[in-house]
């Protein structure tokens, strides 16, 4: 009798551009765990045990193929002493920018991981998942790219001004953010993470022109990603990816997120053999999907992009909204099992 393939084996096969038993499913469930536990979001993330427990529970409930150790994007600002705003059913958000103006960049000091209670909670979560799960599925760690983090550090308007008007201070901030990003990614890998999701939404042509990306976010990623001591996937958090996919492939990352606005058949043609695809379920529309709509959407993605491996079904933003019904997630999972088996 053949031994059942594990989620980790399934994912590694797909990322090798080969066909496993079925298409892998990454339901990126972070604050959704608070909903499952009937806790408010702040209390849920206060204790790593909550996250570990629900990640294990949700993997089994939804036949998910990964554990997601991500808490919330603003945690990297919180580690510097910044404000985090918690809501009842939305992702925690950063408050007032830590860096009030560009002149403060020279005095800014990135956080020390071992002195940061919030970052240590994430590392504890990863360690527990590693110890409790028998290596049955990849544990996905997360870093904000040095290029995208300043949206929370300075605010979007001041950051855009910095990019265009103050290149010396921009370079100084990128150097500081790069040192932290590499250290934070490698700390997660050392604690047991299998791979790192490199969140880089500002690099998407939804935000900045391709020409500017090549001069900035691309150069930074090409420097950072080789320093991360494990595999990475680049996530543009709902932003368009295909106009810059060729350059993202040059950074050494293994996979790329595909926006809900992009065609998965086009993505397969552009990225085949160079990048695996992650996506492209629309998390916002998912809130109102019927079970039939969930199945049809999953089936269409599989028909367009599954052949030959290199596809992971997931949402395109990197976080399942709290408001999505459990029944919808179950329908997505059932559709992946039904249609994702590479039948000819």
Stretches in the chain below the pLDDT threshold 70: 1-3, 343-344
- The verdict on residue 195 lying in a domain is yes
Question: Minimal CA–CA distance to 152: which of 211, 208, 72, 218?
Answer: 72
Domain presence at residue 61: yes
> Domain of 242?
7-339
Examine residue 142 and state whether it is found in any structural domain, yes or no: yes
- Residue 183 forms part of a structural domain: yes
The mean pLDDT of the chain is 96
The pLDDT value recorded for residue 1 is 36
Give the per-residue pLDDT at 4: 82
Domain annotation covers residue 344: no
Radius of gyration of the chain (CA): 19
Indicate if the alpha-carbon torsion angle 74, 79, 83, 86 is positive or negative. Answer: positive
- For residues 140 and 10, the answer to whether their CB atoms sit within 8 Å is no
Separation CA 258–CA 251 (nearest Å): 17
Within the chain, strands assigned E span 25-26, 67-68, 84-85, 93-94, 139-144, 195-199, 232-235, 255-258, 276-281, 311-315
257 touches 202 (CB < 8 A): no
Spatial separation of the C-alpha atoms in residues 217 and 43, rounded to whole Å = 35
Task: Please state the domain count of the chain.
Answer: 1
Asked, for residue 2, whether it belongs to a domain, the answer is no
Q: How many CB atoms lie within 10 A of CB 271?
A: 23
Give the pLDDT score at 228: 98
C-alpha count within 13 angstroms, C-beta hemisphere, residue 143: 30
Backbone angle region of 76, left / alpha / beta, with phi > 0 → left and psi within -120 to 50 → alpha: alpha
CATH number of the domain at 304, please.
3.20.20.210
For residue 163, give both structure tokens: 């990019």
d(CA 77, CA 153): 7
For 126-145, write each residue's pLDDT tens digit.
999 999 999 999 999 999 99
Q: Does residue 231 belong to any structural domain of this protein? A: yes
Evaluate whether residue 268 is within a structural domain.
yes
Nearest CA among 262, 258, 267 for reference residue 307: 267
């Amino acid at each position: 009798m053949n031994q059942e393939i594990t989620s980790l084996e399934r994912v590694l096969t797909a990322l090798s551009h080969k066909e496993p038993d079925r298409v892998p499913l990454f339901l990126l469930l972070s604050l959704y765990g608070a909903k499952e536990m009937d806790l408010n979001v702040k209390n849920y993330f206060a204790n790593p045990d909550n996250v570990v427990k629900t990640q294990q529970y949700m993997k089994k409930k939804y036949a998910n193929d990964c554990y997601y150790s991500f808490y919330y994007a603003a945690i990297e600002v919180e580690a510097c002493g910044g404000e985090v705003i918690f809501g009842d059913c939305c992702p925690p958000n950063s408050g007032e920018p830590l860096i009030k103006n560009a002149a403060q960049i020279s005095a800014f000091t990135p956080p020390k991981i071992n002195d940061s209670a919030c970052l240590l909670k994430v590392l504890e979560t990863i360690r527990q998942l590693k110890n409790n799960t028998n290596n049955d599925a990849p544990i996905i760690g997360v870093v904000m790219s040095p290029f995208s983090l300043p949206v929370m550090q300075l605010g979007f308007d001041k950051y855009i001004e910095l990019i265009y008007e103050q290149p010396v201070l921009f370079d100084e901030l990128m150097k500081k953010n790069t040192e932290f990003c590499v250290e934070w990614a490698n700390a997660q890998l050392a604690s047991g993470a299998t791979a790192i999701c490199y969140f880089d939404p500002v690099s998407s042509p939804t935000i900045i022109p391709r020409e500017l990306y090549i001069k900035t976010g691309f150069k930074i990623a090409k420097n950072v990603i080789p320093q991360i001591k494990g595999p990475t996937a680049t996530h543009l958090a709902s932003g368009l990816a295909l106009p810059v996919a060729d350059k993202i492939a040059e950074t050494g990352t293994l996979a790329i997120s595909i926006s809900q606005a992009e065609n998965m058949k086009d993505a397969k043609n552009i990225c085949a053999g160079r990048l695996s695809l992650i996506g492209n379920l629309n998390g916002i529309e998912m809130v109102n999907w019927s079970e039939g709509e969930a199945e049809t959407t999953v089936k269409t993605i599989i028909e367009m992009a599954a052949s030959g491996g290199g596809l992971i079904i997931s949402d395109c933003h990197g976080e399942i909204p709290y408001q999505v019904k459990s029944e919808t997630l179950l329908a997505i999972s059932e559709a992946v099992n039904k249609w994702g088996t590479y039948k000819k």
